[in-house]
Structure 1
Amino acid sequence: MSNEKVRIEGLDSENWYECCALEVSEEQRDFIESNAISIAQSKFESTLKPYAIYFEDQIAGFLMFNSVPEELDGYWIYRIMVDKKYQGKGIGKAATELMISEMAKLPNVNKIVVGYHPENQGAHKLYQSLGFIDEGERFGKEMAVIKYL
């Protein structure tokens, strides 16, 4: 997948509702909050930065990260999802690479952290392919993996 076909844009009055309508596959539903909940959360936690993922000119996914460091002294990826109709095309990886580039612009970023359910094999493969390392950190039911910049 070339990054030319994938872009991320900040969530706004034009694209938020369409992001709410996106869905993951049935087997992924237990692993991620709905986009609507994530968008609502971003309205109450001003450091969260929500984005729409576009594939060509269609909204294909949603992502969100925190713009301040948190646990493990890292900047956290809160959400990354690709609609079930667009999965398997490399969109998630391309969007995550774009998100990492955006996060790298934040002040004093030296590591990015993401948590996910250990049974979520898609997330595991994605983050491993992007250089995230499992150092054994756990938060409740989720494992946290780290990418050093």
Structure 2
Amino acid sequence: MRADNVEIEELNEENWYDCCELEVAENQVGYLESNAVSIAHSKFELSLKPFAIYYDGKVVGFLMYNTLKEELNGYWIFRIMVDKNFQGQGIGKAATQLMISEMSKLPDAEKIVVGYHPQNKEAHRLYSSLGFVDNGDRFGKEMAVIKYINE
């Protein structure tokens, strides 16, 4: 899928290594698993769908979501990251919108849920701007916010 100069493409033999080389900003390091760990996870939990994020034809980010409903009876976003050199340009927001569009096609898609560390201000701004709401759900150290589909 494509929006403006941002595109998401399912992970494949041509883009997986580029995703492994991406890095988050220093202040975000403790918030996410590495892309390599996420990619490995997707090979053992086949309901996870990993994607490369492209900007002007270059791999600049990584995202992954689950195609099976989990906690809170929703489909979960597992990862979304944009390389530190491409942050602040709206790429993450555009890619997340594309991901939401894909996830909305899943069977009985009523809710999309994402968990993140409460101190991750960038994640908070992103999800708030896309209509995710905080109903007070918490899982360990993470808060879970929900995007209601078709509202």
TM-score (norm 1): 0.98
AA partner of residue 33 (structure 1): E
1:94 corresponding residue in structure 2: 94
2:143 corresponding residue in structure 1: 143
Distance in 2 (alpha carbons) for counterparts of 1:117 and 1:25: 15
Percent same amino acid at aligned positions?
66
RMSD of aligned alpha carbons: 0.9
Q: 1:51-96 CA deviation, whole Å, 9 max, x = no partner?
A: 0000011001000000010000000000000000100100000000
AA partner of residue 28 (structure 1): Q
User: Higher strand fraction: Structure 1 or Structure 2?
Assistant: 2
AA partner of residue 95 (structure 2): A
Distance in 2 (alpha carbons) for counterparts of 1:106 and 1:72: 16
Q: Where does 1:116-127 land on structure 2 (aligned, <5 Å)?
A: 116-127=116-127
2:63 partner SS: strand
Unpaired segments of 5 or more residues in structure 1? none
1:24 corresponding residue in structure 2: 24
1:85 partner SS: helix
TM-score (norm 2): 0.97
Q: Where does 1:1-149 land on structure 2 (aligned, <5 Å)?
A: 3-149=3-149
AA partner of residue 3 (structure 1): A
Q: 1:14-36 CA deviation, whole Å, 9 max, x = no partner?
A: 10001000000000000010000
Distance in 1 (alpha carbons) for counterparts of 2:17 and 2:60: 13
2:146 partner SS: strand
User: 1:4, CA displacement in angstroms?
Assistant: 1.4
Q: 1:92-122 CA deviation, whole Å, 9 max, x = no partner?
A: 0000000000001111000000000000000
Unpaired segments of 5 or more residues in structure 2? none
User: 1:49, CA displacement in angstroms?
Assistant: 0.1
